[in-house]
Structure 1
Amino acid sequence: MIGKKEFNSINNLLNQKLKEKGILIAVHRGSPGGNIIENTIPAYKAALKQKGDILEIDVIKSTDGVLYVFHDGQEKRLLNENDNIKTLASTKIEGLTYLNAIGHKTSYKVERLDDILEAYKGEVLINIDRAWDIWLELLPKLDQHDMVNQIILKGPVVREQLEFLNSYKTKYMFMPIIHSLHEIDVTLEYQNINLVGIELIADSEQHPLFQDEVISSIKNNDLFVWANAINLDDEIILFAKLDDNTSIIQNPDLGWGRLFDKKVDIIQTDWPAILADYRDHKIQ
């Protein structure tokens, strides 16, 4: 059972899915391609059709306080916009339209967080990323949707933010992004956070967080282990190159398969259908 006993009712959906699937597939920004754009309802629909279990979404706030689903830093590629979206008002954001996978203009616009939450209420686990700097505004908005059993917040180990979660009345599931053993210890200090799992960042197999005894210790604390298999580029290594590229270009046994062997509970990927097929054969 994942999480503390006092939060069992909140964590029930997560635990049900882990029991049912064994290993869960978290889909990075949904499944874009062609005329379907990342971080949109169609991309998330595609992810679910490809057997994804968790939708990863990026949330930002406009200058006038409206919450949107978008990964800032991608404005030029996706919107042909030079300014960071966080510096724009909602009227400007809603006048922008997406470019598709080959750079052609579409009629599709940046979606509000409210619309995406309502589209997937009661259906699927949702991991909210890159929003830790706006939790003060985000969490009250999440409260309005009554989706506490679906939302997994993600964020770095920053004491000010951990203190906020520790004192916040609604106990959303939380997964810290961990880069060191010390960060695990810091996170465990906060007893009133609904801590459900840990994302481990390890740049090599020699990294302390890659070691089996560390993974076992995390799981012995009734927490899941999340490994990020996505390839952001050729330089960034998120979990010792046990990643999508290795799995697809070489052999899934060398990437995803080793994550299975290390008893990882959740794998984040850009290729849910291929990973799901591998999981189905691996777990049989």
Structure 2
Amino acid sequence: MKQVLTFLLLLLTIAVNAQVNAIISEFKNPLGKEVLVAAHRGDWRNAPENSIAAIKYAIAMGVDIVEIDIQKTADGQLVLMHDEKIDRTTTGKGKVSDFTLDSLKTLYLRNGCGVPTHHRIPTLEEAMLAAKGKVMVNLDKSYRYINEAYAVLEKTGTVNQAIFKGDLPAGKVIDDYAAVLKKIHYMSIVSLDDSAALHTIHDAVSQIKPVAFELIFKSDTPAILSHLKDIKQSRLWVNSLWASLNGGHYDDMAFDDGNIKDSWQWLLDRGFTIIQTDRPAALLAYLRKKGLHK
């Protein structure tokens, strides 16, 4: 009986890992046809942002990537929190960096309406264990903590599921993190409105070879969008969260106004194959209807 249970557990582990391995394979394929969906701060409409529940709900929804934000406590622990202060999203007040982990764990997270819930502030380790074998995780605000975060990922066996990112020049990234850079998925963030955008892209391509580029643009002029053709060996990531990140082709245009043609479809037509959204359920439904997502 013990051998049977062990065998069944092994099969379950293989099946679970197959789920995230398929996502990772797609993520690393610049020519992949499937569009990947990233849930911004998890499913924050149905659970507090950056909570374990928000991660689990997003996974159940079928997203490929969950975005979380990282801050560090006074005693050096990495926790999930977008703001440097805890005032907006918890029942406490002050900076994350002024609290120990034990102190933060006494507080409760607030939901999107500001109402206290029963959910607590999770550590990065707790978040990665919740995501393990199921989904990739976009580690926002993580650049200054890459070495510490990497140690957590090694401990939890989730290195291959994590996406690190930064907007610094390629040479600086290499100087800062040469020891781990080839062991992680790194994404370069580039503002296409910047006059040096093309130079930044070329440096990243030649020196880092990022697995993806997160591109930000306030305007959608032909001159700005012409830079997209210079990226051939990396996935193109766009944030459809609000207008200033995507030239005005954002979530609410699709969801509230029903104008998908000039929002999500416009982004797809320009070659973006990873979309970070605040409307993951609606975007998934649209992509599945188009045959662009399982």
TM-score bucket (shorter structure): 0.7 to 0.9
Give SS of 1:242's match.
coil
Q: Name the stretch that deviates more: 128-137 or 150-159.
A: 150-159
1:84 Cα deviation after fit: 2.0
Give SS of 2:122's match.
coil
Give SS of 2:160's match.
coil
The 1:167–1:12 alpha-carbon spacing in structure 2 relative to 1, beyond 3 Å, is farther
| Residue in structure 2 matched with residue 240 of structure 1 by the alignment | 247
The 1:28–1:66 alpha-carbon spacing in structure 2 relative to 1, beyond 3 Å, is same
From 25, 30, 34, the equivalent of 1:15 is: 25
The 1:21–1:87 alpha-carbon spacing in structure 2 relative to 1, beyond 3 Å, is farther
Deviation track 1:56-91 (CA, whole Å, cap 9, x = no partner) reads 111111111111111124622211433121332222
The 1:119–1:72 alpha-carbon spacing in structure 2 relative to 1, beyond 3 Å, is same
Q: Distance in 1 between matches of 2:175 and 2:254?
A: 39
| Residue in structure 1 matched with residue 15 of structure 2 by the alignment | none
Q: Distance in 1 between matches of 2:151 and 2:224?
A: 34
The 1:265–1:169 alpha-carbon spacing in structure 2 relative to 1, beyond 3 Å, is closer
Q: Distance in 2 between matches of 1:101 and 1:12?
A: 32
| Residue in structure 2 matched with residue 8 of structure 1 by the alignment | none
- Computing the radius of gyration from Cα coordinates, the structure with the larger value is 2
Cα RMSD for the two superposed structures: 2.4
- Asked whether the 8 Å contact 1:24–1:265 carries over to 2, the reply is yes
1:147 Cα deviation after fit: 1.8
Q: Distance in 1 between matches of 2:32 and 2:220?
A: 30
Runs of 5+ unmatched residues, structure 2: 1-20, 192-196
1:185 and 2:202 correspond: yes
- Asked whether the 8 Å contact 1:197–1:226 carries over to 2, the reply is yes
From 196, 215, 222, the equivalent of 2:228 is: 215
Give the residue type in structure 1 aligned to 2:281: A
Q: Name the stretch that deviates more: 75-84 or 129-138.
A: 75-84
- Asked whether the 8 Å contact 1:173–1:194 carries over to 2, the reply is no
| Residue in structure 1 matched with residue 9 of structure 2 by the alignment | none
Q: Distance in 2 between matches of 1:283 and 1:242?
A: 21
Q: Distance in 1 between matches of 2:251 and 2:230?
A: 26
| Residue in structure 1 matched with residue 212 of structure 2 by the alignment | 197
1:122 and 2:139 correspond: no
- Asked whether the 8 Å contact 1:78–1:98 carries over to 2, the reply is yes
Q: Distance in 2 between matches of 1:113 and 1:283?
A: 34
Q: Name the stretch that deviates more: 67-76 or 148-157.
A: 67-76
Give the residue type in structure 1 aligned to 2:121: V
1:266 and 2:274 correspond: yes
1:278 Cα deviation after fit: 0.9
- Asked whether the 8 Å contact 2:85–2:93 carries over to 1, the reply is no
- Asked whether the 8 Å contact 2:166–2:188 carries over to 1, the reply is yes
1:279 Cα deviation after fit: 0.8
Give the residue type in structure 1 aligned to 2:145: I
Q: Write the mapping of 1:90-105 to structure 2, written as runs, cut at 5 A.
A: 90-105=101-116
Give SS of 1:198's match.
strand
- Asked whether the 8 Å contact 1:29–1:57 carries over to 2, the reply is yes
Q: Name the stretch that deviates more: 154-163 or 102-111.
A: 154-163
1:15 Cα deviation after fit: 2.5
Q: Distance in 1 between matches of 2:183 and 2:80?
A: 22
Q: Distance in 1 between matches of 2:260 and 2:85?
A: 29
1:265 Cα deviation after fit: 1.0
1:12 Cα deviation after fit: 7.0
- Asked whether the 8 Å contact 2:42–2:49 carries over to 1, the reply is yes
Give SS of 1:149's match.
helix
Q: Distance in 1 between matches of 2:72 and 2:84?
A: 14
Q: Distance in 2 between matches of 1:266 and 1:163?
A: 28
Give SS of 2:110's match.
coil
Task: Tell me the number of residue pairs that the alignment of Structure 1 and Structure 2 aligns.
Answer: 264
From 168, 181, 184, the equivalent of 1:172 is: 184
Give SS of 1:68's match.
strand
- Asked whether the 8 Å contact 1:181–1:208 carries over to 2, the reply is no
- Asked whether the 8 Å contact 1:198–1:226 carries over to 2, the reply is yes
